[in-house]
Structure 1
Amino acid sequence: MKITTESGNEFLLQSDADITIQEWFCTIRNTIDSLGTVQPFSALSVNVRKSASTEALHQGAEIKEKKNEQRRSLVFKLHYSASDSSERNRVKTRLKKFIIRRPSLKTLQEKGLIKDQVFGCQLVTLCKRENTTVPHFVRMCIEAVENRGLDADGLYRVSGNLSTIQKLRFVVNQEEKLNLDDSQWEDIHVVTGALKMFFRELPDPLFPHSFFEQFVEAIKISESDRKIKTLRNLVTHLPPCNRDTMKALFEHLRKIVVNASTNLMSTHSLGIVFGPTLLRPENEPGNMAVCMVYPNQIVERMILEFDAIFC
């Protein structure tokens, strides 16, 4: 409470208790009234008091409203959180029931609801299903490239249109018949891109994980004759589908090298392209050379010494 006298003196009285301010005000007013003189102070004091009282009431109302708002907000949050948690639990329960009751992949395949896949399938499983040792799709791609693409610049190095390659992948997985001479597969880089994708998506690479270290050790041998003999011995011990598919692929790559003057794909270039695709360690090694250098060298050597290794 602020008091100003006629002489211009100002006094500021403060208290946290509203009742104390009220007592001060009544005391000062009674004192002024007992003097018998009319001074502007009385009216001023009343206005100040009313203003202070009104402001205190407003502040109290605002604080009360904020507290009520906070309570409502807290209640809403608690309710929302509980509701949200309950909904998540219901969804989890339904998903668990669905997973438990859902039919197996084998059952769906037997009913014809899901067709057997080509991409991403184990090589031995695919060959057994097709009653062959070289997948039909691999033979079709090799034949298409050799018939109309041996002179294509950057064969297997240049990337085809990815969306078209994915479309070809879908057709192979969903349809029984495929004609790579169809105009939609006219770009030979789409065919080569799909063949690389097939080998890249094999769960167990063309050079099986169990043989990876042995092939790496073989390529490290400095003596050429012993190196070739070791590689040949490893190839003969591969599963039949891996060995025959490997032979078909490297015979095809050798034909590409023969036409290197037009397609500009040397043995070294093909090693860079196919090394990481055909040879992958099961666990990531700390030595980068194991993943990058040796696989490339193995592919190069298999192309250069095709006759000695496979024939």
Structure 2
Amino acid sequence: MTSPAKFRKDKEIVAEYETQVKEVRAQLVEQLKCLDQQCELRVQLLQDLQDFFRKKAEIEVDYSRNLEKLAERFLTKTRSTKDHLLKKEHSILSPVNCWNLLLLQVKRESRDHATLSDLYLNNIIPRFAQISEDSGRLFKKSKEVGVQLQEDLMKVLNELYTVMKTYHMYNTDSINAESKLKDAEKQEEKQMGRSGRQQDDRQTPRSPDTLTSIKTDEKPVRRSSVKKIEKMKEKRQAKYTENKLKAIKARNEYLLALEATNSCVFKYYIHDLSDIIDCCDLGYHASLQRALRTYLSAEQNVETSKHSGLETLEGATESLEANGDKQKLMETYNNVFCPPARFDFQSHMGDTMGVVCAQQPLEVELLQRCQQLQSRLSTLKIENEEVKKTMEATLSTIQDMVTVEDYDVSECFHHSNSMESVKSTFSESYLSKPSLAKRRANQQETEQFYFTKLKEFLEGRNLITRLEAKHDLIDKTLEESQKTDCCLSSGRRNSAVRKQESGEAIPLMVKSCIRFISRHGLQHEGIFRVSGSQVEVNDIKNAFERGEDPLAGDQNDHDMDSIAGVLKLYFRGLDHALFPKEVFHDLISCVSMESLHERAVHIKKVLQSLPSKTLIIMRYLFAFLNHLSQYSEENMMDPYNLAICFGPTLMSVPEGNDQVSCQAHVNELIKTIIIHHNTIFPGLQDLPGPIYSIPGAGDDFCDSPHCEPPLVEEPAPETVSVRHNSEDVTVALTV
């Protein structure tokens, strides 16, 4: 039977899982609140814009009326005196003409401002009202999709909980059956011992009558007891075998469900949330851009002298862009939109086998299941791809509807030189067309069809993600099971290769560039941010490729930005990024952790799986970047700015992920590694190899009084081939 301590541990495991699920549920609630807040802010903004332009229209019409009165007052006076003055003195014709032109200009301004008021009331304000209506409708539909996805996600988590409890139950039954089997074996051993003692008694000399009596009494009793124990043992053995098989199957189901759940959660945070935000913003930025462009067109035609002041608004209007807003939103609420940590396998009562079991008789069953999953995935992907094409075509149609360039109102400001009062005209290019109602109906119908296809696509992608996770895990398990012998033999060969590779150090190009920057460029403003001379970058790079070191010695005649460009170019030119794509998701998941120390511990755990050669280069590079960031007051490059420069170079975002949101997470990750490189990377005892270090004071090594050069501490002579120069230590390494 299970002990109370094991039951307490089981409860703690379940409680830990429930706590994690509770945190995810709270995060989902906060996501909806965040989106609600964005919608409220958007509605308030549109309402303020309407109130602003309504008041501005009142001001413009009052101004227009005052200008009209002013012009008519002096025009009336001019008409009454014009003929008399012309007859009396022809020399005043030119001044009167100027005076008349001035009054015409006032008349023109009156007409223009009346046109502005008309445009505000009958064009721009209705546009904002329409945007508000569309935004509310789209947000409501987007929220319904988001709520459905969250319900599906919680359903997956609940299914994982059910599978985990089933696994615990069957594992408990297996342990209990094993305990009962051991009890039966002990009884059998005890009975066998008793039979042995009886055998000894029979070997003791006794009278014939006594011996006959004992044999008669003990034989039936002993045989019955032995048979009963053997029968009980066989029954318990069968029960144990049955329960053990059930426990293994339940564990397999739990592991498969665990993998599928983690994939589903990651997909929701990386892909689904991004898509939901896109739906909330569908057409909003384009429509707002059209409305503001209408205002810009009107103002620029009224008074071109104000063009310099309107450039700021023009730039802001040009900057209306959905992806940019989405990135800012996700950066502002980083803890809400970052994926949580992966759900780890919760072992039960000492069962530490956290992998899918592919031993017989489960191998055949897993193989059949893998084939079934592959077949179903092929069908689902084809179907979902068709849905995606339809959805993208519909989205393109909607975007065409909301990006019509109908904001030019130049024709409203085309005036004649007539002196007669002209009633302000109203542009019929937008709201006055009879086809507007039809356009609106078509737009809403297209939106409804798009959301239908979007929901179908997201649900299909969700199912594909879960099935792919299960299929890949089973396929990987089967491959590893089939290649065990090959791995054993190749492991011995790889061991020899690793011994050879352990003698390699930092690439000459990397080491020399870092040495040069540490000597002369720690205080160089904008280092790694400002581009250098492409010609000099190519010359230095070609010299390194020829086996030369163009930066050797103490000469400081190279452009510092070009040296920094060579270093970045080296890492950008690697066949595979310094951080492999295989660990991308595991590393990105740590960004949601508020504690930087917890992030560092998680990163260290993930990076332990990388080759020692890669870790040595990482350790050297990030120690240098940390040293460089200590001079941020002079070079303006703190850890975050350095992360922005090196993030895209060192870690590329895998295909299929949202580049905008993921790049922000990558930059945050690189910043954390720069700050906590000592915690993340192992020291010389655990990872022999070159290490970037700062020498003591008094070393006249660099030009700056604050600059301290790096030293390269080489491993033991038996592990690295070293060539000493008078200036430095050179070790060759290729990556």
TM-score relative to the length of structure 1: 0.54
Tell me by how many angstroms 1:202 deviates. Answer: 1.0
Say if 1:223 and 1:149 are closer, same or farther in 2 by CA, change over 3 A: closer
Equivalence for 1:239: 611
Q: Is the 8 Å Cα contact of residues 540 and 566 (structure 2) preserved in structure 1?
A: yes
Q: Which residue of 2 aligns with 1:136?
A: 508
Which moved further from structure 2: 228-237 or 269-278?
Answer: 228-237
Residues 286, 188 of structure 1: alpha-carbon distance in 2 compared, 3 angstrom cutoff: same
Aligned twin of 2:133: none
Q: Distance in 2 between matches of 1:215 and 1:255?
A: 23
Q: Which residue of 2 aligns with 1:273?
A: 645
CA distance in 2, matches of 1:199, 1:185: 24
2:658 corresponds in structure 1 to 286
**Whose relative contact order is higher, 1 or 2, with alpha carbons under 8 Å and at least 6 apart?**
1
Identity of aligned residues (%): 23
The partner residue of 2:670 within 285, 299, 302 is: 299
- Of 670, 674, 679, which residue of structure 2 is paired with 1:308? 679
Is 1:257 the equivalent of 2:633? Answer: no
Could you list the runs of 5+ residues in structure 1 that have no partner in the other structure? 1-124
Q: How does 1:206-245 map to 2 (within 5 A)?
A: 206-245=578-617
- Between the aligned partners of 1:269 and 1:233, the Cα distance in structure 2 is 25
Residues 256 and 225 (structure 1), Cα distance of their counterparts in 2 relative to 1, 3 Å cut? closer
Partner of 1:197: 569
> Among 519, 522, 545, which residue is 1:150 paired with?
522
Q: Is the 8 A contact 2:502 2:612 kept in 1?
A: no
2-structure distance, mates of 1:201, 1:130 = 23
| 3-state SS in 2 of match to 1:301 | helix
| 1:255-311 C-alpha deviation (Å, 9 max, x unpaired) | 111111111111111011011111103425235211x20111011001111222124
- Hey, what's the Cα distance between the residues in 2 that align with 1:284 and 1:137? 33
Distance 1:130 1:306 in 2: 21
- RMSD (CA atoms): 2.3
Q: Secondary structure in 2 aligned to 1:157? A: coil
| Structure 2 unaligned residues grouped into runs of 5+ | 1-496, 683-735
Cα deviations by residue, 1:183-226 (Å, 9 ceiling, x for unpaired): 69611111110000011111111111211121111222334443
Partner of 2:531: 159
**Counterpart Cα distance in 1 of 2:671 and 2:589:** 15
Q: Deviations over 1:54-85 (max 9, x none)?
A: xxxxxxxxxxxxxxxxxxxxxxxxxxxxxxxx
Structure index of larger Rg = 1
- Aligned residue type for 1:267: P
Measure the CA separation in 1 of the matches of 2:503 and 2:575.
20
Given that residues 260 and 266 in structure 1 are in contact (C-alpha distance below 8 angstroms), is that contact kept between their aligned partners in structure 2?
yes
Change over 3 Å in CA distance of 1:181–1:130 after alignment to 2: farther
- Assess if the C-alpha contact under 8 Å between 2:537 and 2:563 holds in 1: yes
Question: Distance between the aligned counterparts of 2:552 and 2:577, measured in 1?
Answer: 28
SS at match of 1:252: helix
C-alpha contact (below 8 Å) 1:161/1:190 kept by paired residues: yes
Deviation at 1:181, TM superposition (A): 4.5
Change (3 A) 1:260 1:282: same
Q: Distance in 1 between matches of 2:666 and 2:674?
A: 13
2:544 aligned with 1:172 = yes
Letter in 1 for 2:616: D
The whole-number CA distance in structure 2 between the counterparts of 1:130 and 1:178 is 23
- Equivalent pair of 1:160/1:187 in contact (CA under 8 Å): yes
2: distance between equivalents of 1:300 and 1:287? 18
Larger proportion of helix = 2
CA distance in 2, matches of 1:308, 1:277: 23
2:567 alignment partner, SS class: helix
